[in-house]
């Protein structure tokens, strides 16, 4: 998406919902409730990158900390997708545990079409298709 003359914003998909009663800009509530600690995060993707672009796939498992009044990151599953994939490709990412023996209360999934989006300099034209996003357990 071109924004003005200098900015190109990446496509972004975030698990969550819009709070229709909140002000615009404050109405995206990121994350969904979860009450288990899955072993992995998986999905199928197709990626058609613009020249030298990279997509980002990340899932955070968090737990609200009543003492600090902030979210602690219990586990993370993440990768970069650099290669073009014209057919749906299976991707399974193990969660790396940051805080052992804690069960998360929220899962956050973020999918970005371009690694350069943080600097508002994303690659125009990169396309990421996603299907069958889920979490799973190794012993089931």
Residue 78, H or E segment = strand 70-81
Neighbouring-strand partners of residue 63? 72
Q: Domain range for residue 58?
A: 2-136
4-8, 30-34, 53-57, 131-135: lowest mean pLDDT where?
4-8
Tokens found for residue 85: 């994939």
Q: Taking the model in full, what pTM does it have?
A: 0.81
List CB contacts of 61: < 8 A, sequence separation 6 or more.
34, 37, 38, 73, 74, 75, 76, 95, 104, 106, 107, 108
User: CATH no. for residue 85?
Assistant: 2.60.120.890
Confidence of residue 10 (pLDDT cuts 50, 70, 90): low
Residue pLDDT, tens place only, 75-103: 999 999 999 999 999 999 999 999 999 99
Domain total in the chain = 1
């Amino acid at each position: 998406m071109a924004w003005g003359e200098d900015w190109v914003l990446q496509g972004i998909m975030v698990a969550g919902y819009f709070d229709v009663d909140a002000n615009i800009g404050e109405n995206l509530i990121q994350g969904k409730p979860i009450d288990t600690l899955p072993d992995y995060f998986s999905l199928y993707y197709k990626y058609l990158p613009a020249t030298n672009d990279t997509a980002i796939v990340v899932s955070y498992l968090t737990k609200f900390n009543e003492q600090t009044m902030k979210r602690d990151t219990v586990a993370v599953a993440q990768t970069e997708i650099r290669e073009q994939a014209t057919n749906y490709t299976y991707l399974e990412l193990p969660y790396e545990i940051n805080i052992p023996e804690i069960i998360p209360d929220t899962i956050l999934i973020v999918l970005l079409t371009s690694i350069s989006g943080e600097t508002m300099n994303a690659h125009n034209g990169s396309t990421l298709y996603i299907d069958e996003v889920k979490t799973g357990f190794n012993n089931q």
